[in-house]
Amino acid sequence: MLKSINSIMPKSLLRSKALFITFTVIFLTLFVMSGCTKNDEKTEEKSVQNGSVLTLATTTSVNDSGLLEYLQPQFEQDTGVTLKIIAQGTGQAIKTGEDGNADVLFIHDKKSEEKFVADGNGLSRIELMYNYFVLVGSEDDPAKISGSAKSAEECFKRIMGSKSFFVSRGDDSGTHKKELGIWKKAGLTPSGNDWYVSAGKGMGEVLKMASEKKAYTLTDKATFLSMKDKLDLKILLMDAKDLFNQYTIIKVNPDKHKHVNKKNSDKFVEWMTSEKVLVMINNFGKVKYGESLFYVNYVKKD
């Protein structure tokens, strides 16, 4: 019957009918998709309103080492809080905290941290763990550092004296600030020289650049160890007193930044400083690298 009706209908009407059906299907599809999107947005908004998300601004060195990837699943399982990680240089992380766009900072430049707290942006510095910066370079070692230099200051003098390539983070990170402090202490100004490259990148990218250029660079030990199999670099100076690297947690001040999640900030710090997690941090890296990448020096205050 339907076939016979279609056979006597004008072709123009048949085309109109087909177009109507097509547009109806498209409209219904878009309507359903719109509903799903709104539901997703409502779910995400509800999640944030319920306080189930913690935003952590951290250094690229901590992130690149794999420590947070190691801790995150356990934190979320233990607390029911979703951890949102923003990995950036210490300078940028502090700016994120100053703007109230993070709940907690996990950084490593004492002078900047103290100013952040003094300005009322953070509650207090909680020293959690440490490792050492290391100076790495190619096997050739044109500045003759390996086995003879005893301090980073001495190494930098040799690098400048030999005009050997050096790749700097150049990104206002904690590592960059440390490097600039060593140059300053040595009474040297490397910027403007052809052999000094300011990368403006994170630690992982800088290590790749140094490897390609057979250059020296200053890096945190954890990131280097996690990448060393992919690099043509070796450690030339380590465990020097002037290369100590302290990592600190700071809760962003909720009185100054009203939308900061104080409840989850407290949960994060309490969890990170618990005995279970301190042991996890101390053990991180032992199986894969034969040594810990970080050493806990947290002291509980009464």
Number of domains in the chain: 2
Residue 30 pLDDT > 70, yes or no?
Answer: no
Residue carrying the six token digits 């990368």: 199
Does position 7 have pLDDT exceeding 60, yes or no?
no
Asked whether the predicted pLDDT for residue 159 surpasses 70, the reply is yes
Please tell me the predicted confidence (pLDDT) of residue 277: 98
Task: Tokens 């100004």: give the residue.
Answer: 189
- Given a cut of 70, whether residue 199 has pLDDT beyond it is yes
Predicted pLDDT of residue 61: 85
State pTM to two decimals: 0.77
Mark whether 142 and 209 lie in a shared domain: yes
Q: Give a yes or no: residue 179 inside a domain.
A: yes
Tokens representing residue 211 in the block? 């490897």
Asked if residue 289 and residue 148 are part of one domain, the reply reads no
In a domain, 151, yes or no: yes
Task: Look over the chain and give the mean of its residue pLDDT values, rounded to a whole number.
Answer: 87
Q: Examine the pLDDT at 6 and tell me if it is beyond 60.
A: no
Confidence of residue 33 (pLDDT cuts 50, 70, 90): low
- Residue range 233-284, pLDDT digits in tens: 999 999 899 999 999 999 999 999 988 999 999 999 999 999 999 999 999 9
What's the pLDDT tens digit per position in 45-78?
434 444 689 999 999 889 889 999 999 999 999 9
Do 167 and 220 belong to one domain? yes
Q: What is the pLDDT of residue 60?
A: 87
**Which of 30-44, 96-110, 173-187, 238-252 has the least mean pLDDT?**
30-44
Is residue 121 located within the same domain as residue 168? no
Question: Which domain-ending residue is among 237, 269, 285?
Answer: 237
- Residues 175 and 210 both lie in one domain: yes
Domain that holds residue 287: 53-131+245-296
The arithmetic mean of pLDDT across residues 89-95, rounded, is: 93
User: DSSP for the chain?
Assistant: -HHHHHHHS-HHHHHHHHHHHHHHHHHHHHHHHHHHHHHHHHHHHHHHHTT-EEEEEE-HHHHHHTHHHHHHHHHHHHH--EEEEEE--HHHHHHHHHTT--SEEEE--HHHHHHHHHTTSEEEEEEEEEEEEEEEE-TT-TT--TTT--SHHHHHHHHHHHT--EEE--SS-HHHHHHHHHHHHTT---TT-TTEEE--S-HHHHHHHHHHHT-BEEEEHHHHHHHGGG-S-EEEE-S-GGGEEEEEEEEE-TTTSTTS-HHHHHHHHHHHTSHHHHHHHHHTTHHHHSS-S-EE------
What is the pLDDT confidence band of residue 28, given thresholds at 50, 70 and 90? low
Cα–Cα distance for residue pair 243/241, rounded to 1 Å: 5
Residue-level pLDDT at 1: 46
Domain of 188, CATH number, reads: 3.40.190.10
Q: Per the domain annotation, does 123 fall within a domain? A: yes
pLDDT of amino acid 252:
98
